[in-house]
Structure 1
Amino acid sequence: MDTDTDVPGEVPYPTQPFPTKPPPFAGQGVTLEDANDLTPEVHRLASLNSKPIVSVRYSHPRVLEGLTAAES
């Protein structure tokens, strides 16, 4: 688990387990791989606009700016 955070005084616990059962029934996050790929140009623009955003798949320490959530 990532333990880097930009929140002053925040110290995430390094060994928080990931649940394995039951399996997830919805998406667990979003990354640049999920950017719109209708055309190469659309994908390039979506990727450029998403670069300042912290994207994660499951669990991430708190951040002050830039975290996004995926809708299911």
Structure 2
Amino acid sequence: MSDRPGPGSSAKEIRADIEQTREQLADTVDALGAKVSPANVAAQAKQGAVSRGPQLAVLAVTVVAIVVAWRRL
């Protein structure tokens, strides 16, 4: 089931497997680096805040209404 070279593999097959693994690892590291870059993290945080804006507005109005009602008691 695996494409990896086994015990009877040639040096050429093993080298090819190592090179393929290096390329996959490099792609993974690049993807992780892009995901955690400060610019991308900031953009994701901004997008999250923008998408939650209406919910936060409703929450703020609700809290103000509760405080006003409580003070009138």
Which TM-score applies when normalising by structure 1? 0.24
TM-score by length of 2: 0.23
Q: Specify which structure has the higher proportion of helix.
A: 2
The structure showing larger relative contact order (alpha-carbon pairs under 8 Å, at least 6 residues apart) is 1
